[in-house]
Structure 1
């Protein structure tokens, strides 16, 4: 099964079911810090992780930082989710021009433990972004892009290139690549069981009886 095939298995799944299955697998810390939220209500995100790491640095050469950003952008694969470990609380790490260049290339969105700006344009474009804060301040003058497509810790979760990133109104979950196919299959089973419980409850079946019949609640 290819990476795109595995990602497609998550298209109809919601993050609570995925998080529950990951817990059963022993992966208990796969949900990104809940303060990292969608830029707009109703946004969702799905793709393979493309981790990005940086740090505050007010001694950077802005032209060099920009050149590294452009180099990094060229490496983001189609279907990739840019997932940032910024170590920063003051500036914006994604803006309108970046989105304008990345979106036509099939980049799936961004999850930023950091900031974003030009938010009205990004919303208009429908580019999925989950971020910690907004700021008008450009990071180019005060932030150093250290590395990309490498392991990172984002919002308290260790992320590796190729992991599956799923985000919706409940939060963002990172599924390790090595268990992604199995997690998707089990999450579909769980969702199907929950659908059956929901139908039973709507038909007036008592909660205890519904649980006994379907083994979930």
Structure 2
């Protein structure tokens, strides 16, 4: 596993990953910023199926380089493992709960994968597929029960512009560094990359932030003034603690806010 700077991989439990799945990208990026990580959000990537966009899992990385005509031919697509077609090896090797993260160099001219490969991974229990390029078979993928994020949809085959050069190495995706084993979280708004040594801390702090901000949003929706409420001052924080001690459920704040906004 490609831990940065020789750092030993830190175990991350399935419970922590499931908790991160339910934390918003805005909260995750705020918490990462507190740890000095300025940009861990993959800007511009959208889910092909908005109804199947929420996920979290460990990164399994694949790196593309530009294709070369004497290597990337139709004959490369053989019914057996082929050193010139590592993409098939990746799809075969990736395990349940992992996320295939593809460095397509932000090049959308050819597909990074399509319906057949995503179907195979979906049945295996792969958590999601992320590329900073394109996917093909967009209509089919938009109805599939596997989260799939990309910049665009194109019909052009990968062999037109992409050669799979490496698996399970550090990559760039949407100009963000992704290491094998990083925790990848999608929430419908986009993709956040979490260094695995911070995963448990972000699960704890992120849940607290989401609960507190639901309370703040509830009060904001009631028409309160901005300053002192957001960002919260000491009095607002004290009010929140008193609200919790009264037995109020932070989840109820989300419902109340939704009721006020919808009228």
So what's the TM-score if we normalise by structure 2? 0.75
**CA contact 1:16–1:170 (8 Å) conserved in 2:** no
**CA contact 2:21–2:54 (8 Å) conserved in 1:** no
The equivalent of 1:214 in structure 2 is: 237
SS in 1 for 2:132: strand
SS in 1 for 2:151: strand
| Structure exhibiting the larger radius of gyration computed from Cα positions | 2
Residues 202, 134 of structure 1: CA spacing in aligned structure 2 closer, same or farther, 3 A cutoff? Answer: closer
For this pair of structures, how many residues does the alignment match? 215
5+ residue gaps, structure 2: 1-10, 241-263
Q: CA RMSD, aligned part only?
A: 2.1
**Structure 2: distance between partners of 1:166 and 1:114:** 18
**CA contact 2:111–2:157 (8 Å) conserved in 1:** yes
**Structure 1: distance between partners of 2:37 and 2:77:** 36
In the TM superposition, what whole-angstrom CA distance separates every residue of 1:96-134 from its partner, at most 9, and x where no partner exists? 111121111001111111111111111122321110111
**Structure 2: distance between partners of 1:141 and 1:155:** 20
1:55 shift after superposition:
1.5
Give the counterpart of 1:158 among 148, 157, 177. 177
1:208 shift after superposition:
3.1
Structure with higher strand content: 1
So what's the TM-score if we normalise by structure 1? 0.90
Give the counterpart of 2:50 among 29, 32, 41. 41
**CA contact 1:65–1:144 (8 Å) conserved in 2:** no
**Structure 1: distance between partners of 2:25 and 2:208:** 14
The equivalent of 1:187 in structure 2 is: 206
The equivalent of 1:64 in structure 2 is: 76
